[in-house]
Chains A and B, each alone.
Chain A
Amino acid sequence: MTLSITHTPVYCTDLDEALAFYTQRLGFEVREDVPMGPDMRWLTIQAPGDPHELLLSAVDHHIPPADREIMREIVAKGDLAVFIQVHDLDKTFESLRAAGTEILQEPVDQPYGVRDAAVRDPSGNHLRLSQPLAAQG
């Protein structure tokens, strides 16, 4: 059996803010943006050349009403994370910083073979960026 991951949800407190962040600051592209009434929007993005989609999920849309307040708090408290590999970590990081992104960790070579850094997306998700050390020039 061949398996692959197609969609990974990223919970956001504001979809438009999230969309602007992931497309303008990181270079993701919109794959699907389908309004489905006042309470639902199917919004997926992907990195150029990567079939794996991130499903930008509003905390108000994609989970049952009873759990929305809890989900909003979990996201805003900063307890969730997204992991992304980038081609040039330092360049990406500097452009994120220049755009005013909240910084969690400066780029650093890790003993386990990657250079990584961390920022917050506008909702508060911990966005972990890494680059394999071997790929550096």
Chain B
Amino acid sequence: MVYGPGMAVSELAHLRRARDLMDREYARPLDVPAMARAALMSPSLFARRFREIYGETPYSYLQARRVERAMSLLRHGGRSVTDVCMAVGFTSLGSFSSTFTRLVGEPPSVYKARDHSRLAPVPPCMTRAWARPGWIAEPCRIGEAMPAGRA
């Protein structure tokens, strides 16, 4: 398979490093120029290449990463929605709530209130990948968030 002309392993590795930067430092204010620097590319080339190989824009990957981290913090309890919003890198509760709701299918407060015990035996990095918005085609309800009887 060819992703654009001459996508060498080294180029893929640069893009992977930019994605790793988002996975690692999602709580920081990251923008496309900063990510592009991690990938040693110009911002426009980086945005295009990233989308070619990972199937979404860098910004949408970052938002999904933040929401996935928020889901984890909400599942493990003990923190308010506002706390979680700030902890994962959103700067306003309004944009957090609307992004979360769009990706997960329900508001953070409703998600937090659910019984998440079904996920307990699953290794967390699997939960993370699985729960990650965009990983599966449907909005990220990952079974556990489905109404009783549908899961």
Interface residues in chain A, defined as those with a beta carbon under 8 Å from any beta carbon in chain B:
13, 69-70, 72-73, 76-78, 81, 83, 102-105, 110-112, 118, 120, 124, 126, 128
Contact = CB atoms under 8 A, between A and B. Distances in A.
6 contacts: A69-B1, A73-B12, A76-B16, A78-B19, A105-B23, A111-B76
Contact of A81 (B12, B120, B125): B125
B54 interface: yes
Contacts of A72: 9
B76 A77 contact: no
**What size tier do the contact residues of chain B reach?**
20 to 34
B124 A77 contact: no
B124 A112 contact: yes
A70 B12 contact: no
Interface of B is mostly: helix
B28 to A, nearest CB: 14
Contacts of A76: 9, 12-13, 16
Contact of A103 (B16, B24, B53, B120): B24
Nearest to A126: B125
Contacts of A110: 124
Given A103-B24, A104-B24, A126-B125, 12 more contacts: A13-B9, A69-B1, A69-B2, A72-B9, A73-B1, A73-B7, A76-B9, A76-B12, A77-B53, A102-B17, A118-B125, A124-B13
